[in-house]
Amino acid sequence: MPELPEVEVTKKGISKFCLGQKINTVMTSGVRLRYPIPDLPKLLLGKKIKVVSRRGKYIIIGISEGFLLIHLGMSGIISINKKEQKMQKHEHVRFYLQNGNILSYFDQRRFGLVLWEKQKISEHRLLKNLGIEPLTDRFDTDYLYNLLRTRKGAIKNVIMNSNLIVGIGNIYASESLFKANIKPTRLACSVSKKKCAKLCTDIKSILQEAIIKGGTTIRDFKNCQGIIGNFKYNLKVYGREGAECFHCSRKIKNIKISGRSSFYCSNCQR
């Protein structure tokens, strides 16, 4: 599933091509995603794209009189091109823009969503209970320490809880905990304030580096111009079960935590 870096890369990419543009035509596949696609041709014809932003793993496109809320699900991508052709397989929404660009939403597994909201977008039921953004100043040592010290669950589950911190999925949780030398099964309440300071810094640096590298492509992800993310070449533990740790040469292990594969080094992470 695309995580914060992949969604941020997508947001930045499409912003360059569609900001300030009117929507001349909209086409939809008629196929249901996680929720039915609204009647976008009726809602958006002639409307102007005013802003493109991100909240957690959601892309928000501010349009005259409302907002498009987009989630990429497990396999969704948004592409930009100028080539006129028939609706493609797994293409569910297509926007023809005034400048000649065509913005398309693809989703093979159909776990994503494209919704329309006329009211205050921050109060949307899918957004209003989301946690703090990890790349903001509000996410600091004190916030993380206070968050962890009363929780007895595995620390990996806590930092992946989108009601507490948004956008940190399996890949970046595994990588951040490795960089901070914290075992993913460690009780959250047992992490010292000093360790919290390092983890907070490492979460930010891992996410920022992944954005610079264009995200992580394991299977499906591509940016809006069809380019895969290169952060996969920087992964230290995720997907490396049985390979040698880059720091100590021990074998990387993989255990299940709440049904998710969790990669770590038993020597470097305590």
Active-site residue (options: 55, 57, 186, 232): 57
Do residues 222 and 160 touch, judged by C-beta distance below 8 A?
no
Residue 3 a catalytic site member: yes
Q: How far apart are CA 10 and CA 235, in angstroms?
A: 20
Question: Maximum CA pair distance of the chain?
Answer: 59
User: Would residue 57 show up in a list of annotated catalytic residues for this protein?
Assistant: yes
Task: Check if 6 is active-site.
Answer: no
The b/e string for 86-106 (b: 16+ C-beta within 10 A; e otherwise) is eeeebbbbbbbbeeebbbbbb
- 236-243 long-range contacts, CB within 8 A, separation 24+: 236/175, 236/178, 236/179, 237/174, 237/175, 237/178, 237/263, 237/264, 237/265, 238/170, 238/171, 238/174, 238/175, 238/263, 239/263
Q: Is 260 a catalytic residue?
A: yes
Contact status, residue 19 vs residue 183, Cβ threshold 8 Å: no
Find the catalytic residue in 109, 204, 213, 260. 260
Catalytic residues, which ones?
2-3, 57, 260
